[in-house]
C-alpha cells in the first residue's frame, strides 16, 4: 500500500482510472490480452487491451474474457485507422468498458463524441503541445505523452523533453507519462512534475501471466537498452513509420528489402506506390511470429529502451509492488535529505 505522500501525488490519476495505483499497462499487440490485462488490474494498476487489428467480434470476446478474470477497471486501446473503428467503439460501449484509449493518429470527432455521450472516458496520445491543445478542444478526458524511448511505433521526441513541453501547460485534465519508464524513482519524478500517473509496457512483457513465448521473454531478459533500436528510413520517398524493437535478423532483412525496392523504383521496374505498399506489408504477421511463435530472429521484437531493466520473469503483482517500493524509497530519501538540510 502506498503512503500518503505518494497517494497525494497521483490522487487525480487514481480517481480518474478508478484504481489503487495510477499505473497503466501499455497496450502491446498480442501481449496485452486478457491474461496480462486482468493481472495488471488485479494487482492494483490499470490494464489495457490492445485491440490491434481485431474484428468487432474478436474484441467482444476478449473484453468478456477479461471481465471474467477481473472485477477491477480496465481499458481498451483502439487504433484510429482501423476501418471498423466505430463498430469497435460500439462493442466497447455495449460491453460497458469504462475507458478507451484512441491511438495511431488524431481521432475523428465522431468517435470522441460517441464515446463521451455514452459515458466512456476518452484517453488520447499527444506527441506535442499543439496536439495536446487540439485534443483538449475536442473534449478528451485525459492524455498520454509517450517519448521515443518506448517500444513499438514511436514519435521523434524523448520523454524528458515532452514532459517539459506539455506538463506545465496542461492542468485541466489528467496527463499520463510513458516511454522508457522502468523504476519507481522515474515515476515519482514525473508525478512531481505534474503527471497524474505513468504507463509502462516493456516492463510487463516478462510477467508470469504474460502469454508471450518463452523465447520472446528470454530475448528481453538478455537485452540491454542499446539493443532496442529504431527502424530506419532509407529514402524519403518511402516514409517508414519508426518502430523501436530489439535488433535481430529481421531488422537486417528490412533494410535489405528497402534497398531492393528502392533500386527497382529507380530502374523503373516497380511503381512507387506499389513499392510503398510492399514496405508497409513487410512486417505483417512479424510481431505474432515473435510473440506467439517464438521466432525471435525473423519476427518483430518490439521493445522499449527500458528493456535493460527487465531482469527476471515474475508475477505482475511483484512487478507493481517493486515499483511502488522504489517510489516510496525515493520519496523517503528526499524527505530525509530535506530534513537534514534544515538542521
Whether 337 shows a pLDDT value over 80: the answer reads no
Give the C-alpha distances (Å, rounded to integers) separating 93 from 90, 116, 160. 5, 10, 35
If one compares 93 and 282, the residue with the highest pLDDT of the two is 93
The stretch 285-311 carries a mean pLDDT of 96
* Predicted local confidence at residue 99, as pLDDT: 98
This prediction has a pTM of 0.94
* Predicted local confidence at residue 21, as pLDDT: 98
Whether 172 shows a pLDDT value over 90: the answer reads yes
Percent of the residues in the chain that have a pLDDT greater than 90, as a whole number: 88
- Can you tell me the distance from the alpha carbon of 285 to that of 240, in angstroms, rounded to the nearest whole number? 17
Whether 240 shows a pLDDT value over 60: the answer reads yes
- Can you tell me the distance from the alpha carbon of 120 to that of 95, in angstroms, rounded to the nearest whole number? 11
- Can you tell me the distance from the alpha carbon of 68 to that of 92, in angstroms, rounded to the nearest whole number? 15
* Predicted local confidence at residue 279, as pLDDT: 85
Do 48 and 26 meet the contact criterion of CB atoms below 8 Å apart?
yes
331-340: b (≥16 Cβ within 10 Å) or e:
beeeeeeeee
Q: Predicted confidence band at 277 (pLDDT cuts at 50, 70, 90)?
A: confident
Q: What domains appear along the chain, each with residue ranges and CATH number?
A: 4-200+313-342 (3.20.20.70), 214-305 (no CATH)
Q: Compute the residue count for the chain.
A: 343
> Kindly report the CA angle at 178 between 65 and 301, in degrees rounded to 5?
70
Q: What is the DSSP letter of 153?
A: E
* Predicted local confidence at residue 83, as pLDDT: 93
* Predicted local confidence at residue 342, as pLDDT: 55
Residue whose C-alpha is closest to residue 207's, from 36, 20, 26, 25: 36
Do 105 and 133 meet the contact criterion of CB atoms below 8 Å apart?
no
Do 81 and 280 meet the contact criterion of CB atoms below 8 Å apart?
no
Structure confidence by residue, pLDDT tens digits, 190-219:
999 999 999 999 999 999 999 999 999 999
Do 278 and 261 meet the contact criterion of CB atoms below 8 Å apart?
yes
* Predicted local confidence at residue 241, as pLDDT: 82
Whether 63 shows a pLDDT value over 90: the answer reads yes
Structure confidence by residue, pLDDT tens digits, 173-186:
999 999 999 999 99
* Predicted local confidence at residue 336, as pLDDT: 60
CA dihedral 159, 161, 166, 169 (to 10 degrees): 140
Structure confidence by residue, pLDDT tens digits, 322-332:
999 999 999 99
If one compares 237 and 305, the residue with the highest pLDDT of the two is 305
Do 174 and 196 meet the contact criterion of CB atoms below 8 Å apart?
yes
The chain-wide mean pLDDT, for the chain, equals 95
The stretch 223-242 carries a mean pLDDT of 91
Q: Predicted confidence band at 93 (pLDDT cuts at 50, 70, 90)?
A: very high
- The 10 Å Cβ neighbour count of residue 139 is 12
Residue whose C-alpha is closest to residue 324's, from 176, 161, 173, 184: 184
Residues 6+ apart with CB under 8 A from 207: 36, 39, 313, 314, 315, 316, 319
Whether 343 shows a pLDDT value over 60: the answer reads no
Q: What is the DSSP letter of 227?
A: G
Amino acid at each position: 500500500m502506498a503512503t500518503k505522500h505518494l497517494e497525494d501525488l497521483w490522487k487525480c490519476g487514481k480517481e480518474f482510472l478508478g484504481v489503487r495505483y495510477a499505473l497503466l499497462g501499455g497496450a502491446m499487440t498480442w501481449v496485452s490480452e486478457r491474461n496480462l490485462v486482468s493481472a495488471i488490474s488485479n494487482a492494483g494498476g490499470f490494464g489495457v487491451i490492445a485491440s490491434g487489428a481485431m474484428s468487432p467480434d474478436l474484441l467482444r470476446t476478449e473484453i468478456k474474457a477479461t471481465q471474467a478474470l477481473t472485477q477491477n477497471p480496465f481499458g481498451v486501446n483502439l487504433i484510429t485507422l482501423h476501418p471498423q473503428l466505430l463498430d469497435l467503439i460500439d462493442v466497447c460501449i455495449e460491453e460497458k468498458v469504462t475507458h478507451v484509449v484512441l491511438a495511431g493518429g488524431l481521432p475523428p470527432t465522431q468517435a470522441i463524441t460517441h464515446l463521451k455521450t455514452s459515458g466512456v472516458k476518452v484517453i488520447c496520445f499527444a506527441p506535442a503541445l499543439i496536439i495536446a491543445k487540439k485534443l483538449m478542444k475536442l473534449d478528451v478526458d485525459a492524455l498520454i505523452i509517450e517519448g521515443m524511448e518506448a517500444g513499438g511505433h514511436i514519435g521523434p521526441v524523448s520523454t524528458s523533453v515532452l514532459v517539459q513541453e506539455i506538463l506545465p501547460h496542461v492542468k485541466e485534465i489528467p496527463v499520463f507519462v510513458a516511454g522508457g519508464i522502468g523504476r519507481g524513482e522515474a515515476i515519482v519524478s514525473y508525478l512531481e512534475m505534474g503527471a497524474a500517473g505513468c504507463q509502462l509496457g516493456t516492463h510487463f512483457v516478462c510477467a508470469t501471466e504474460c502469454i508471450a513465448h518463452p523465447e520472446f521473454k528470454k530475448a528481453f531478459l538478455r537485452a540491454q537498452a542499446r539493443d532496442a533500436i529504431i527502424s530506419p528510413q532509407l529514402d524519403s520517398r518511402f516514409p517508414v513509420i519508426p518502430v523501436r524493437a530489439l535488433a535481430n535478423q529481421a531488422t537486417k532483412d528490412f533494410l535489405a528489402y528497402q534497398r531492393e525496392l528502392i533500386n527497382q523504383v529507380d530502374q523503373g521496374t516497380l511503381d512507387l506506390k506499389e513499392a510503398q505498399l510492399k514496405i508497409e506489408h513487410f512486417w505483417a504477421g512479424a510481431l505474432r511470429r515473435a510473440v506467439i511463435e517464438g521466432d525471435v530472429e525473423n519476427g518483430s521484437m518490439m521493445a522499449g529502451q527500458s528493456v535493460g531493466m527487465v531482469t527476471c520473469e515474475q508475477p505482475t503483482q511483484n512487478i507493481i509492488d517493486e515499483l511502488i517500493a522504489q517510489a516510496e524509497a525515493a520519496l523517503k530519501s528526499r524527505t530525509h535529505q530535506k530534513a537534514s538540510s534544515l538542521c
